[in-house]
Structures are given as C-alpha cells and as structure tokens.
Amino acid sequence: MYDTELKDEFAAMGLPPFRAAQVYSWLHKGVVSFDEMTNISKELRQKLMENYYISSAAIEKKLISDYDGTRKYLFSFNDGETVESVLMKYHHGISSCISTQAGCKMGCTFCATGQGGFNRNLTPSEMLSQLQAEERDSGERISNIVLMGMGEPLDNYDNVVRFLKLVSSDKGMNIGMRHISLSTCGIVPRIYELAELRLQLTLSVSLHAPNDEIRSRTMPINRRYGIDELLKACRYYIDKTNRRISFEYAMIDGVNDSPAHAAELARRLHGMLCHVNLIPVNSVKGTSYRKSKKERMRDFISVLEKARINATVRRTLGSDINASCGQLRRGAKDGQRREEE
C-alpha cells in the first residue's frame, strides 16, 4: 500500500494521518506483527490486528553455500503457498533474487519452475516481504534486486510495477531502479508497455536460442511471439529508455551451443545496445538437458566477440546448494532434505 492509500484507510477509521505514517514506516522496516509497533497504543494495535494482517514471508527452509555464503530460502505466505528466493554477495553489494509468482504458466522445458506449473500471482507486499525477511535473517542490507526467481514478472504486470514503485520509493526501501533487473521470457505487448514507463531498471530477456525452430521447442511463449517480433520490441525498448538490454542464453549441450548458432545469434543482435549473458544450463530432474562443454562455450563466445557482440559467461554462485530457482521447492515436495543445521 502507498502511504497515501494507508492515510485514506486510516481516515475512514477516524484516525489522523500521522498514525498512518507511523504504521507505514514500521511496515517498511519489515515488522511481521502489529505488536512490534512500539510507538502505537495497545488499543490501536489490537484494532489493527482484528482488521488487517501483515503479509510476511516465513522461512520454511534455508540453505547456505559453503563456497560463497549464498543463501537460498523457501518462504511460505499466509495461505501456505511457497516460493524461493536467493541472497547473493557480490563485490558491489548484496543482491536478492526474488519470486513474482508461485509457479509459472510459461512451461519452458529446461526450467524447474516451469515444469512445476502455476499456482498464483504474488502481491506487491509478498514481493517486498521476501526482501524484508532476508534482511532480518541475514543482518545484511540488500542493495540490488533481480526479478529472476520463480514466475514470469510480465505475466503479473500490475503487481510487479506497483512493487517496483514501492521498493524504489524514498519512503520505502529506497532501492534505485538502476539497482533492479527484471527478467522476462518475452511477453511482447508488456515489453512495449514497460518501455512507456521509461524506468531505469535493467531489462533481461531470456532468449536461449538463435532461431524460432529451437526457441519454440524449448520456450512455448515463442509460438505466440517469435524472435523477430521479440527483438523488434527490444529495439523499441532500448530506443525509449536508452538502457542496454541483457540477453540471457542458457547453453545446452547439443541443442543451442554450436558455432553456427553463435553466428546466427550475432546476426540477429547486430547493432543492438545489448549484452549476452551465457549460462551453463542447470540440469533439472526429469529433463535430459546437460550443460555445454567448456570448449564449446569458449568457441561460442569467440564467435560473438568477433562479431562485436558483448558477451560474458555468468559466474554461478551457490552451486553447491542448487541456487537456481524452482529446485528447492520441488525438493521440498519430493521430501528431499538438506537444511542448515
């Protein structure tokens, strides 16, 4: 809720605006119960408790990497729905990768979340509560956010935009748009809509294939919006926002990782203000996909570089705890246990 909305709500109960401001500031400190709001009378706290609830993310499971301290959480919400979130340390600060939906409708064949189906959208406060729970648990201040957890952010567009405005507000967590990335599988009409908002966030586009034939096989959304249409929307987005787009490309052994695929990709991205992020695919139970060999990745990158396409191999954090999303939740369902002592 915005502070103005909270003020209206309080006015309707006959309460003055400064009370709303007090409650708003507690909510953004990440309190999980009205009892923690110590500058508010017991009577009012009781009244609030009877009429509202604070959406909070409860820690169901937590894994901490021995290699790099990456923390992976399984959170549950008030209705028992669960999502994953990952907290990572980089040299430039602490980055949190949060979920925007419980599950996902998009059905990408290489993705554990996609294979698990869709349950529901998350509300803006459920997105915020993942960050707040992580700050509380780790004692760290989050400086960067990536919407790369479970779900397709542009399939929950209104809630995600509201979340972005709340989290970047100086009355909220005050995390600047330049410190936020949003990753999408390519819901074209929403990319146009987002472009109009001219937010300074980083748009990541999960491309994962150099042509429609491979992309439609691995990412069903491509049958609706093909690569040409998607890249046209990306060019429009760059024009409108002056921001560089980051293309995600999961390297799958024998599927999309040949030098010819690299050349095809380079042709398509020619002249775009962009960066290609190559990620060795994480193998997911129930699929036969394997990560590309190291030499294959080296050759792929050198083809891109020769064509003057900016490309890097993404560093994998938390590899010992299977930090890529959708797997912890699945593990919990399968009865697999690997918790922190």
Q: Which residues are catalytic?
A: 84, 325
Whether 168 and 177 have beta carbons less than 8 Å apart is answered as yes
Q: Give whichever of 86 and 266 is closer to ligand SAH, judged by the CB atom.
A: 86
Per CB under 6 A, 206 contacts ligand SAH: yes
Which of 233, 204, 207, 230 has the alpha carbon at shortest distance from 219?
207
Whether 304 and 297 have beta carbons less than 8 Å apart is answered as no
Q: How far is the CB of 159 from ligand SAH (least distance, A)?
A: 14
Q: How far is the CB of 286 from ligand SAH (least distance, A)?
A: 11
Q: Give whichever of 104 and 301 is closer to ligand SF4, judged by the CB atom.
A: 104
Q: Which does 252 bind (CB under 5 to 8 A by kind): ligand SF4, ligand SAH, none?
A: none
Q: Give whichever of 28 and 215 is closer to ligand SF4, judged by the CB atom.
A: 215
The C-alpha atoms of residue 11 and residue 17 are separated, in whole angstroms, by 7
Q: Give whichever of 20 and 167 is closer to ligand SAH, judged by the CB atom.
A: 167
Burial code (b: 16+ CB inside 10 Å, e: under 16) for 34-61 equals: beebeebeeebbeebeeeeebbbbeebb
* Residue 105-134 contact track with ligand SAH, rule CB under 6 A, x = bound: -----xx-----------------------
**Alpha helix ranges (H) inside the chain:** 3-12, 17-29, 42-51, 112-116, 124-138, 157-168, 188-197, 212-218, 227-241, 259-269, 294-306, 327-334
Binding residues among 129-168 for ligand SAH as defined by CB under 6 A: 148, 152
Which residues does residue 188 pair with via DSSP β-bridges, in sequence order?
A: none
The C-alpha atoms of residue 253 and residue 207 are separated, in whole angstroms, by 16
Q: How far is the CB of 74 from ligand SF4 (least distance, A)?
A: 16
Q: How far is the CB of 11 from ligand SF4 (least distance, A)?
A: 40
> Which residues of the shown chain bind ligand SAH in the complex (CB under 6 A)?
110-111, 148, 152, 183-185, 206, 208, 248, 250, 279, 281-282, 284, 324
